[in-house]
Amino acid sequence: MTEPAAEAEQDPEVTAQEATVPVPGAARGGPISHAIFRLARLHRMFAGQLLRRIGLHPGQELVMMHLWELGPQRQIDLVRLMDSDAATMTRTVRRLEQAGFVRRRPSPTDRRASLIEPTTASHALRREVEQVWSRLEDISTAGLSGAECADALATLERLEQNLVRAATPPPEPDARPQ
Amino acid sequence: MTEPAAEAEQDPEVTAQEATVPVPGAARGGPISHAIFRLARLHRMFAGQLLRRIGLHPGQELVMMHLWELGPQRQIDLVRLMDSDAATMTRTVRRLEQAGFVRRRPSPTDRRASLIEPTTASHALRREVEQVWSRLEDISTAGLSGAECADALATLERLEQNLVRAATPPPEPDARPQ
DNA sequence: GTGATTTACTTGTTCAGACAGGAAAACCTT
DNA sequence: AAGGTTTTCCTGTCTGAACAAGTAAATCAC
């Protein structure tokens, strides 16, 4: 069990005829929103194809990276690290367990929780996952200078901050929140 | 329509404690990739919450926008317009039909296909969907000048183009492709 | 200590998205 | 006309993601 990876075929048919999908919303609706949407779609599809070859599904690689980096974690810790969902994490961990990449161990201090830890077999995956991320980064930043990369990053983070601010519960101008 | 700015929500619990989710990959892995990932997640979550209030799920609004804009379409046309998947479209159209937003009519010229058309009832949705997109755009671009918006758009499209290029099948340097 | 609340996790449901496989109609070639 | 191929759509399966609801353990308040 726990055969390391799927090494599949080496050259996938990463054929996305995406290019320029004309969407009504793009013209009059929201050019930025729609660009985010398209970029996200493509990026996700790309990551999915790279991950598929090493036997992971999108999202699972983040769990594994956290575990490799931080060691055994409770599910709730993983949920917080990834800003994910407890229900999703339950299933993701179960699938990773069935795939032989993680193991569950009852928490010695909390009988509600279990500790999730990477199996030794999973360590063969680590380099591959890191290669996937590095490849994705190379592809995304192809042809961009260091300054342009920094610029792009600042732009992405600014957009993100705008959404974070808008999503943040209430301004709560109350002087004494507590 | 197009109420000016984000002016925050008045009610929803759009509480994402996102903020700064520390992910291993962010530090050493791929800052740009990870920023795309986070931005996409937030953007999608936001769109989902706005759409939920008007009774749609993410993705369905795009189908409706195409139908409102272009009139009756075959499923395969919608698939191509959205760069989606035939299987997904089958189910999305079925759900939209059950929700009363679209109707199916057999194609007069092709007995394999049916034409999907928006119902009259759906037209009440149109303004709401447009408001959602416009709100999303306002939120995303809050505090950005016109030039900065154009800049951000260029950045997003450049990243997108990088992925498109990488996904495009082969360079095929063969002089005579045919 | 007893009882209420919170926390960690699970299950059920619904949705999008991707892939495999298949059916029927349309098409092309011979 | 006959046969093979392509197109259009559907179903099944598996995954992530989100929400609701529930269980068991821990914690807090009294």
* Strand nucleotide closest to residue A87 (CA to C1'): C10
List of long-range contacts for A101-105, beta carbons under 8 Å, 24+ apart? A101/A2, A101/A60, A101/A64, A101/A125, A102/A63, A102/A64, A102/A67, A105/A72
Tell me how crowded residue A151 is: count the other CB atoms within 10 A of its CB. Answer: 14
Q: Which of residues 90-109 of B touch A (CB under 8 A)?
A: none
Across the interface, whether the CB atoms of B83 and A17 are under 8 A apart is answered yes
Is B30-137 a domain of CATH 3.30.450.20? no
Residue B133, min C-alpha distance to chain A (Å): 6
Give tens-digit pLDDT for B163-174: 888 876 554 444
Residue B66, min C-alpha distance to chain A (Å): 6
Region A55-60: mean pLDDT is: 94
Question: Is residue B60's beta carbon less than 7 angstroms from any atom in nucleic acid strand C?
Answer: yes
CATH number, domain A30-138: 1.10.10.10
Beta carbons of A1 and B106 less than 8 angstroms apart: no
Give tens-digit pLDDT for B99-153: 999 999 999 999 999 999 999 999 999 999 999 999 999 899 888 888 888 999 9
Across the interface, whether the CB atoms of A162 and B140 are under 8 A apart is answered yes
Map out the domains of chain A as residue ranges: 30-138
Distance of CA B5 to the CA centre of its chain: 21
Residue B144, min C-alpha distance to chain A (Å): 9
What is residue A165's predicted lDDT score, i.e. its pLDDT? 86
What is residue B75's predicted lDDT score, i.e. its pLDDT? 96
Give tens-digit pLDDT for A146-176: 888 899 999 999 999 998 888 765 544 444 4
- On whether any CB of chain B is under 8 Å from the CB of A117, the answer is no
What is residue A143's predicted lDDT score, i.e. its pLDDT? 85
